[in-house]
Structure formats: C-alpha cells, structure tokens
Structure 1
Amino acid sequence: MRSVLSRRPRGRRFLPVVVAAGTATVLSVVTGCSVDTGGGSGSSSQGKGEEITVTAFAGEWGALFKKSFVDPFEKDTGIKVNLVYGADAGWLTKLRAAGGKDAPFDVVALTPGSLHQAVGGDLLQPLSTADLSHWKQLDPVLTRQSTLGGSSYGVPLTTGSNGLVYRTDKIKQAPEDWNDIFDKKYCGHVALPPLTYNAGLEFFSALVSEGGGKLSDPAAVDKAFDKLAQLKGCVSAYPADAGSVSTVLQNGDAWIVPFWDGRAFAMEKEGQPIGFTYPASGAVGALTSYYVPKGTAHSKAAYTFLDYLSSAQHQKPFAEGTFYGGGNDSIDYSPAFKKKVKYGEAVYQKFTWVDYTTATPRLNQWQQRWNQIFK
C-alpha cells in the first residue's frame, strides 16, 4: 500500500507559518558588563546546582547533540542541562507566548526563517561576541546569516547544502543540476516540499536565482512560479518535515526530492539506496544556529554553553556524525568526511542563501500561489 503522504491531495492546502507583520528595531545589548564564560574549561564545581534549558531537534540529531555538547558541558561545569526536544516552529511559538519575559529556554536552536521572525518579535538578545572565546574561529559567511540590523545574534552550529536527493536503485544516472528534477522521466516520482518548509523555500530560491534572479524581484519570482508549474501532475508527495521526506524515499513513493546533503548521507550510511547531487549551478545554504532568548535568567551559564557549542573540539564529532559542516572553521575533519561533504568558507560564499528579509513577509502569499499550482 502506498503511503498516505504519496497520494496527490485534491484541494489540499499547506497552512503557512505565521510571520511577523514587520521588522522590529534591533535593540543593542542592555548589559554594561562582560560575561565570564569560563571558556569551556571550568571545574565540575563551578556551576553546581545551576540549571539551564536548551533546545535540540528530536531523534538521532538530538542524541548526538547531547553526547557531543551536553554531556561534557555538565561534567566540566556542574551545570545541569534540561534538553527540550522538538523543532524550531514550536520553540518560536513558546518564545512568542513569553513575549521576551521569563524565557522558556536559555539557549534555543533556530533556522534562518525562524530567526527573522524571532528578531522581528524582539524575542532574542544580540550577542556580546567579545564574551565568546571561539567567536573569531567561526565562519564569517555563517555568522553573517545571523546578523540583523548590525547586531550578531547566533552562534552557527552546522550548515548543509540543499541539493537533489535521489534513489540510486531507481535513477541510474545521477542528476547534475536543479533542472534535472523537471525531466519527464521522473514525472510521477517527484517529492516537493511546500514553501513553508525550509527545504521547499530553499528549492524555490534556487529556481529564482537561475540567471541571476532575486527574491526581491517580482519578475524573477513570477518566472520561478512558471517553472514550478511544469511539475504539476508529476508530484507524488508533498513532505513537510524531515521524517516525511525520509519516509517517501524509503517507501519508493518518490525517487527524487530537493533536500539536504547531511540527511542523504545519513540514509546512505544506514544502507539505503540514496544518493546526493550538489547542483552544478550552486547549492542552497541551510543553517542551524543557537541563540539566547530575551528574558533568560541564566545569561552567564548560557554563554558558557555557547562556548562549548562553538568549539572545534566539540563541534567535530557532531559535524562528522550529522554529515554537516561545523560553524567553526578550525575543525580538522576526518579524511572520509573531507572526501564526502562540501564545506568551508569558499563553499558557503557560492551558496544561494534565502533572502528571508524579503521572503518572510511574503511567505503566506507565495504559499497560496504554490497551492494554486498543486491543488
């Protein structure tokens, strides 16, 4: 029996993520003193009895996050970490409910789309980067993705490439570029994430950027929607989260989908017939960074945790385990990782990066246009 996800919905609508109505003024840091982070080298008694709440994506990602960062942090500092597993849409909802007071988390993971909404809602603290001992080792291309209104907000953990994931037992000749997904031989076997899911908006951005187009150019956006319409009648699944993407590929409901390199390589490692193509015309960047919400009562401990999060020592096992490039440029990866994964400043500079300043306020409208094509 085919998965429910593979059935082409009639009249189906993907509810857009609620976006901020405008961009709030970015506030400067309100503290006049520096934060003693301890540089990740404190003794086991330094934070005894203190607790912080940190978010992590659910599943194997979260398990590896705990092993790579949380366990050594608790051992070295004596600070207990309460992990909240889930996804950034849910965390953003809780931050909004708190309204910048009595924050539900002390350190929170967000992808760029959620970041822009959080900053627009005045829910995050700008970073005091001078109080992060590894800040200068972090990739400047990645830190710029979390810089809004001249203020740095996020510590980049890992970045991936959105390209084409495909079934190697169904597609014998690997696709080479984005346009290959429109090949009629794949019609009926294409999975297409909606624009309200990061993977879908990243793919749409790749279509817009063809020929030098920008999301801020209505003509380029119209051209991308015209291109997208060529897939009408050819899409077999509309996965709106990572688990659904994996499911439709595993079940054979789809043979090809715009998705991330790390996820593809993890599936391949599990023995699944999965391959990944870095598009010849350029991949789209996908980034996870960590932030300090407004209203935390544990800023000092939060900065200490961010130092662990940003260190090459702790990022290396996490990056290699997830097959994503770490935010710290000084990591010496294993030969196997270097051979398989494209990473580093030179790679990130060539990425298409989603222009969320433009996309966020238009996302509802664009998703409605998407719905009209694939109704």
Structure 2
Amino acid sequence: MLTGCSVDTGASSDNGSELAGQTLTVTAFAGAWSETFTKAFVEPFEARTGAKVQFVPGGGAEWLTKLRAANGENPPYDLIALTPDLSGQAARANILEPLDTSKISNWDELSPVLVERAGVDGTTFGLPLTTGSTGLAYRKDLVPTPPTDWSDLFKPEYCGHVGLPPLTFNPGLELLAGLANEQGGTLGDEAANTKAMESLAQLKGCVSTYPADSGAMQTALQNGDAWIVPWWDGRAFAMEQNGVDIGFVYPESGPVGALTSYYLAKGSTKSDLAYEFLSEMSKPENMKVFAEGTWYAASNTTIEYSEEFAARIQYGNDVYEKFAWIDYPTVLPQITGLQEEWNELFA
C-alpha cells in the first residue's frame, strides 16, 4: 500500500499536448474511493492530455509526514488529498504552495464556503473536492425509533449498543463538536468543552465498541456490535447501497462538516501538469461522477445530481454555512487533554 501504482487507461492525446508523456503523482484513498476517482478524473485527464497519473494510496497523516521530511524539496507527491485537521499543519509548515486560481477552470463555480474552508489563514491553498456531513448512522432493523439529534445517543434504549470512536479518529471529535453545538457552544471554548465532555459521560457503561478507524466502524455496524454511531453520510449511504440495513440522520441542531481537498506540494516540478489536473477535477460533469459514486457532495455548485442523490444528501452553500465546522487551529492543541479525559471516562 506504500508503493505507487500507475493508472494507465490506454488513451493517447490527439491534441499534440506538450504534457503528453509526463507523469503526475497524486495521493488517493484506497479502495472504492480510488476506483471512482480514476473514473471521474484520471481517465478523462489522461485522454485529454496524454499524461499519466501515478497513485500513491494511503492516508493523510502518512502523506503529511513524508511531505515534512521532504521540506519543500523533491516532494514525493505533486497533489495531496488532505482534510482540514492536516492541511493547516501542512500550510503552516511551508510545505504547500498557495494556488493560482486563475489557472484552474471552473474555479468560480466552486462553493465559496468550501473554498474558504480549504484555505488556511485566509490564503487559498486547496481545491475543495467533496464534503461529507457527520451525523448519526444506525441499524434500521435494530433501532425502531430513529434518532433526531446528537443527544439522542444518551437514550436508555441505545445503552449497551453505542459505538464510540476516540477523539483521535475524526468522527469521535466531530461527535464532541456536534454535542457542543447542540448545547449552544463551540468546541474549543473551555466551557463548551467541559459541558460536552460531561454530556458524553452519560455513555459510561453504555458503549459496546470503540471503533478507531473506518474499517472498524463499518464492521461494528455490519455485525451489529453497534446499533448507532457518529458517522459520515457518504459512508452510511454506501453501506446501505451495498445491502446493509443502515439509516442516517442529519442532526437537527446541525451536522459537522468533513471536507476533503487537494493541495499542491511545495517544490513540485510538475505544477503545470498539476494545474491541468485540478482543472479537470473542477469540471461539473467529472465532479458529478465522483460525488454520486461516493455519496459525498462535490464543491462545484452547478451540478445537477440524480434524483436519488438529491433526495438523500444535504448540500449547497446554505447547508454548508450551517455546519458545525471544527476550528482546528483552536481545537488541535487541546486534543491531548480532551483525549485524556475521554480515557478516564471510558477506560
């Protein structure tokens, strides 16, 4: 999984492009995500330019570590997929290049809310790809009354069947942010942190499993080890599509936003090719393929989704503005202390 793999569609450029024959190194999450990414973006890009895309599968923390080691010289990737908890660290470490948006077609069609969230300290660093919403996923065959808000996790009928991720796994931290938001506060504020942790303490003795990654979360739901968990809308709907009896609820007080964006590595010698790929990514027809294939809303606001997608996924600038977004520069320095409190509660 740590070695790159070339994606070769067999297409050749018929436009005499000077980009033909070049190779762009792009990070991508493994599995169905990469397969859909290839169909939506890589295949049309390779056909149009004659260039090739080499995938490096893995995860954001691993990619960030290797970028830090390169320190802006001969980076191992040209374009990197990062979430806001990591992109800020990368930008402040001076290992990302600010984007020249004039080189990206369809940039003006992208959601301004998501563009801002993909940036760092007011500078545009990332092209927002898709946003997920963290809410509550549950087994419809085991939960007769669906939840409506975050605090429903504390209902007696769920006791003994709650899947609770640690705060070091995004859905766990997003659950805490959702609770703080429901209570009228903002995660990162000391009083809001305290109140949210006190509420979480109600789950002591009611947690059946502590999934610490996506695979464990999916297994817990599939096997019935957990009846209800904080989870991403796209993952829940994908599981439902694959035959698992899963429901998903956007909490009434507001779901928590989870964004994936693409960033240009500082020191990349393929910036021209990278901008061509970012332009390919920004096209509504391509983003639609990726969004509907992953069940995550894309950043291009001109997309007309299928009826099935539009009926299930909440999307649009008005929706994104109401998300309980996590202020990572404030929250990340507090994670260690919050996780220690969590450990004391659930050890």
Q: State the TM-score, normalizing by the size of structure 1.
A: 0.87
Query: Which residue identity does 1:343 align to in structure 2?
Result: Y
Query: Which residue identity does 2:122 align to in structure 1?
Result: G
Corresponding position of 2:22? 50
2:123 to 151, 155, 159: 151
Corresponding position of 1:164? 136
Note if contact 2:181-2:324 (Cα within 8 Å) is conserved in structure 1. yes
1:175 to 126, 130, 147: 147
SS at match of 2:99: coil
**How far is 1:221 from its partner?**
0.6
Compared CA separation, residues 251 and 44, structure 1 to 2 (3 A):
farther
Q: Which moved more, 1:215-224 or 1:137-146?
A: 215-224
Counterpart CA distance in 1 for 2:232 and 2:245 is: 16
Note if contact 2:116-2:122 (Cα within 8 Å) is conserved in structure 1. no
Identity %: 53
1:241 equivalenced with 2:213 (yes/no): yes
Compared CA separation, residues 85 and 44, structure 1 to 2 (3 A):
farther
1:138 equivalenced with 2:103 (yes/no): no
**How far is 1:212 from its partner?**
2.3
Q: Which moved more, 1:281-290 or 1:361-370?
A: 361-370
Corresponding position of 2:306? 334
Counterpart CA distance in 1 for 2:170 and 2:75 is: 25
Corresponding position of 1:126? 98
Corresponding position of 1:203? 175
1:68 equivalenced with 2:15 (yes/no): no
Corresponding position of 2:9? none
1:220-256 deviation digits (Å, cap 9, x = unpaired)? 1111111111111111111121111100111110000
**How far is 1:211 from its partner?**
3.2
Count, aligned residues: 335
Q: State the TM-score, normalizing by the size of structure 2.
A: 0.94
**How far is 1:210 from its partner?**
2.4
SS at match of 2:96: coil
1:142-183 deviation digits (Å, cap 9, x = unpaired)? 011122222111111111111000001100111111111111
Note if contact 2:162-2:226 (Cα within 8 Å) is conserved in structure 1. yes
Structural mapping, 1:97-112, within 5 Å: 97-112=69-84
**How far is 1:43 from its partner?**
2.9
* Deviant stretches of 4+, over 6 Å: none
Query: Which residue identity does 1:177 align to in structure 2?
Result: D
Query: Which residue identity does 1:366 align to in structure 2?
Result: L
SS at match of 2:262: strand
1:264 equivalenced with 2:241 (yes/no): no
Counterpart CA distance in 2 for 1:67 and 1:61 is: 10
**How far is 1:294 from its partner?**
0.8
Counterpart CA distance in 2 for 1:287 and 1:198 is: 11
1:94-144 deviation digits (Å, cap 9, x = unpaired)? 111111211111000001101122122221111111221211100011011
1:239-290 deviation digits (Å, cap 9, x = unpaired)? 1211111001111100000001111111111111100011111111111100
1:37-71 deviation digits (Å, cap 9, x = unpaired)? xxxx9936431221110011111011110111111
Structure 2 segments unaligned to the other structure (5+ residues): 1-12
Counterpart CA distance in 2 for 1:212 and 1:221 is: 11
**How far is 1:328 from its partner?**
0.5
Compared CA separation, residues 247 and 297, structure 1 to 2 (3 A):
same
Counterpart CA distance in 2 for 1:215 and 1:281 is: 14
SS at match of 1:160: strand
- Higher RCO (CA < 8 A, seq sep 6+): 1
1:356 equivalenced with 2:328 (yes/no): yes
Query: Which residue identity does 1:142 align to in structure 2?
Result: L
Counterpart CA distance in 2 for 1:232 and 1:93 is: 35
Cα RMSD of the aligned pairs, angstroms, is 1.3
SS at match of 1:292: strand
Structure 1 segments unaligned to the other structure (5+ residues): 1-40
Query: Which residue identity does 1:340 align to in structure 2?
Result: R
